[in-house]
Structure formats: C-alpha cells, structure tokens
Amino acid sequence: MSTPIQSNIPAQKRSIHYLVWLIPLLAIGALIFLILLYYGGGFLLTRQVSNLYSERDCASLIHSAEYVERFYPSKIASFTDPARVQAIECAAYLKADSLREKKDWKAAHEAYLAYQSAYPDGIYAAEARDFAADALFEMASEQRRRQDFSGAVDNLTALLDKFGNTPAISKTKAALPEVYLEWGLECRVEEEFAEAETVYLSLITWAEQDEEQTYVERGQTELAQNYFDWGMDLQSNKDFSQASSRFDKAITTDPNPDSTNSIAAKTRAHLPGFQRSWGMYLISQGKYAESIAHYENSVKLSLPQDVGSAKDALSQAYLNWAEALRAKEDFQQALEKIKDAGNSGATENSKKNSEDARADTLDLFSISKGTQAQKIITDATNSICKNGKPLETLPIIGTLDEKRLRLSGVNLTLPGNVLAQTPGNLHFIACAGEKEVTLQNCPYSRSGYGTITHWIKRIRYEWQIKIYNSQTGKLVNQKTFQGSAPQYCPARYSFGLSSTVYFRGDKPTTPTVTDWLATQLK
C-alpha cells in the first residue's frame, strides 16, 4: 500500500514546480492581454471618434469621446489626442447650435464666429459661417421688433459686408431697406427730422450702390416728405427762414416732382399760404417792408384761381403798414402805402378798404399838430403869400368847421382863437406887408443956419393885411393898419457922426390887428 504513495511524490513536486512558474506567466500574460485590450480599446475608440468626425456626427462623437476622456488620460494615452481635439471642436460647434436652438442669437452668433475662427478648416466651417450670418440676421430682426433700428441696421450692414454668399444675404437685402424706412418713419413721428434725414440719405446711398432703383425712389420720396414735415414744424415755431429751406428741399428731392399727387406738388400748393404766414409774422414784428416781399411772393406762387385772394392779402398788408405809419403821424408815407394797397387789391371790397383807409388817414392828418401837419400849413401859407396861388396838395386844408388862419409877413403872436394849429382849421391865410411911411423930413444945419447938412426923418409904420381863402386863394378881405406917429422934430438936435436920424413910431398894436382878424373868422 505504501509503494504507490511514494511513487506519486516526485510527480506532485513537479506539478507544484510548474505552478510556481505558470502562475506568474499567466499573470504576465493576463497583464499583457489587459494592456493590449486597454490600448486596443482606446485605439478602436479613437478610430470610432475619427470615423464619427469624418461622418460629421458630433452628437455620437461626443458620447464616444467621453469614454476616451474617462478611461484614457492623455499622459498615458497620447494617441487619443486627435480624438480629444475632435471632441473639443464638436463641443464648440454643438454649443453654438444649442444657443441657436435657445434663440440666444447674440451668443450663438459669437459662438459660431469663435468656432470658425478656431477651426477655419473644421468639418462645420461652412455651416458655422452660414449660421453665424443667420444668427446675426435674427438678432437684427429682434432689434427691429424692439424698434432698435440703429442696432438692426448696424447688424444687417455688417452681415452684408462680412457674410457674402451666405443664404442670409438675400433676406438681408430685402430687410435692410425696410428697416431704414421704418426707422425714418419712427423719427418723423417723434419729430426728430434731422435724424430722419440722415436715415433716408443712408438708405438712398445704399440703394444706389446696390442698384436698387425702387428703393432709391422710395427713399427720395420719404426724404421729401420728411423735409415737408420738417418745414411745417419749423413754420409752427415761427422759424420761417429754415422752414423755407426745408420746403425747397422737399421740392428738389421729390423723384416725381411733376406728378399731381407728389410731395413737390403738395409743397408748391402750400407755399403761397406759407409766404402769407411769414408776411403776417413779420408784420407782428414791425418789419413791414420785409413782409411785403413775402406777400408779393405769395401772389407769384398762387394758382390762377387763388391769385385774387393773394392780392387782397397783399393789399391788406399795405394797409397794416399804413396804420403803423399813421400811429407815428407819418401821414405822407401812410398815404403812399394806402395808394399801393389800392393798386394791389383784386376785389371791390379790397379797393373800398383802401378808400376808407385813405379817408381816415386824411381825417387824422387834418387834425394833426405834428411835424408833417405844420409843414403843410407852412407850405400852404407860403404858396399863397409868395406865389399867389393855393397849394396843390392833399385835401385836408380848411376841412373842419372850426375856422382859423395863419399870418405871414409880420412878427405877430396870434391868440388861440385865431391861430390855425391843424391843416383842417386853416380856412384863411393872412399875408401882411410892412410899409414905412415918411411923415416929415426935418432939415438941419450944423451951425444952425446956412447949408443943410443933416436930416431927421419921421417914420410911421403901416401894415397892409390881405386875407385869402386857403383852399381857393381868392382874396376875402384886406385892411391897412397904421402905427403911432413918431415924435416931432426938435429945434436943435445933436447928430453925432450920423447925418440922418430916423424918428420911428410904434408898429400897429397887436390887439388891434388880432381883434380884426378874429372878426373875419365868424
């Protein structure tokens, strides 16, 4: 029984010996297998990622790349670096896509640009550029809805400049001019006419460069309307000079100035009234001469059927000027303006207004005591007393019931019940002539006898006063007034150096003359 047992002992030793070597070998083999499996799996994952990258399947690529990142640290598996780079590229693109799906257009636009900048030859380089353009367009559309027209135009313009040949270009070209038009209209509604002008000019410039003739004309039409609205606003604020400039631009800017329904036609129809309003404003400022020029412009610019009313307005402007002149007692100029008013008016009513104004002015002139009235009195007096005929002048002399006169030729102060102080009460003109009458010549000799060497002349004053009708110049009455006689010649007189001495009497007394003159006025 013992022999078999002993015979197995060497065999068992050999088995143990084999096991001692086999186990390490198996462990090494297993390790090698695991290493091969680990790196082989990494290789396969990298290939898978690369294939997915080639297939542009970023969603699956990211999922596979997660395993690479989780199980294959870059320090011990550098061969997976391309997969990591591809995963980063896909992540960048998918981030941009995610932002686009969330309609975060600004962030999406920036993300696509960032992708395109980082990966100019990336698998989605073309799509990134297209989507960046599309996000920029959507961002502009959002700004347009918020009425942020400036931002919308900036973004649409940038899209055209930087993203040519993208699908967004066609819709951008369609949207940009409409945004300009909406922006311009918004500015006009807010009465920001200068900004609207800039907007429309920008639209026209763009349309001309892009050969969009339809929008060139639309821009010009809207710009013309803006100038018209601007002019109306300036007119309401009494800034007529600037308003006139804007109305002129409305006419010259209109692309269809000859159309009956054009802005130019509407502006031309407004101009006659505008010129009258300008003239009225100048009258309120006391600038009558300037106002007349604008009323005359109104006549020139009026349609045939409106010329009559424009002429009547011009006539009334002259009458307003005349009224202002009358207030300053400048009756001569007032009458000239009234004459102009009569020549300017178109209707019988206008002419009657001029006639009434002339009559009123003459009435005021006839009772005036001002400088011009006094000159009329002086001229009328000189004309009869010096020229022998009445003054050919305005019919204001002697028109009042109160009768007074003016005396010329002698220095005599007339009382108030005789002196004419206004042209209207100048019914008579008294022309006086002073005469020296020698009553006696007294001879004297130096020695008291013999040859006559000296004289004393005794002089008496005489006034011959003739009264004439101030209107006709006909003689009404006359009288000679004598002054007092001088003293008699003495028996002896010391002549001194003079050989002739005059003894003069007093001139006629004032009461005597004025009392007689007063009786002529009854």
pLDDT digits (tens, 9 = 90+) for 100-126: 999 999 999 999 999 999 999 999 999
**Do the domain assignments include residue 14?**
no
**Do the domain assignments include residue 226?**
no
- Note the pLDDT of residue 481: 95
Instruction: Tell me the residue range of the domain where 403 lies.
Output: 376-519
Residue-wise pLDDT for 279-295, tens only, equals: 999 999 999 999 999 99
- Note the pLDDT of residue 103: 94
Residue-wise pLDDT for 197-214, tens only, equals: 999 999 999 999 999 999
**Do the domain assignments include residue 403?**
yes
Report the alpha-carbon distance of residue 134 to residue 169 in Å, rounded. Answer: 9
**Do the domain assignments include residue 386?**
yes
426, 420 in Cβ contact below 8 A? Answer: yes
- Note the pLDDT of residue 5: 47
264, 254 in Cβ contact below 8 A? Answer: yes
**Do the domain assignments include residue 313?**
no
Mean pLDDT, the chain, integer = 90
**Do the domain assignments include residue 424?**
yes
Q: Which positions ≥6 away from 219 have C-beta within 8 Å?
A: 177, 180, 181, 200, 201, 203, 204, 207
Q: Answer with the residue of higher pLDDT: 1 or 347.
A: 347
**Helix spans in 328-393 (H):** 331-344, 348-366, 371-387
- Note the pLDDT of residue 28: 77
Report the alpha-carbon distance of residue 417 to residue 236 in Å, rounded. Answer: 57
Residue in the block written with tokens 């020695």:
447
User: Residue 324: which pLDDT band, with cuts at 50, 70 and 90?
Assistant: very high
- Note the pLDDT of residue 408: 94
- Note the pLDDT of residue 125: 92
User: In total, how many domains does the chain have?
Assistant: 1
- Note the pLDDT of residue 74: 67
Report the alpha-carbon distance of residue 203 to residue 226 in Å, rounded. Answer: 14
HEC string of 386-435?
HHCCCCCCCCCCCCCCCCEEEEECCCCCCCCCCECCCHHHEEEEEEEEEE
Main-chain phi, psi angles of 303, to 5 degrees: -70, 160
Bridge partners, residue 479, by sequence:
465
- The yes-or-no verdict on residue 71 having pLDDT over 90 is no
Report the alpha-carbon distance of residue 479 to residue 464 in Å, rounded. Answer: 6
User: Residue 468: which pLDDT band, with cuts at 50, 70 and 90?
Assistant: very high
Report the alpha-carbon distance of residue 430 to residue 433 in Å, rounded. Answer: 10
Instruction: Give residue 149's Cα distance to chain centre.
Output: 27
- Quick one: average pLDDT of 382-399? 89
Q: At what angle do helices 193-209 and 213-236 cross, to 10 degrees?
A: 170
**Do the domain assignments include residue 68?**
no
- The yes-or-no verdict on residue 17 having pLDDT over 90 is no
User: Residue 76: which pLDDT band, with cuts at 50, 70 and 90?
Assistant: low
- The yes-or-no verdict on residue 6 having pLDDT over 60 is no
- Quick one: average pLDDT of 173-197? 96
Residue-wise pLDDT for 151-175, tens only, equals: 999 999 999 999 989 999 999 999 9
- Note the pLDDT of residue 9: 62
**Nearest Cα residue to 149 out of 207, 192, 111, 101:** 192
Q: Answer with the residue of higher pLDDT: 450 or 486.
A: 486
- Quick one: average pLDDT of 404-414? 93
- Quick one: average pLDDT of 229-246? 97
Report the alpha-carbon distance of residue 401 to residue 426 in Å, rounded. Answer: 10
- Note the pLDDT of residue 62: 84
**Do the domain assignments include residue 501?**
yes
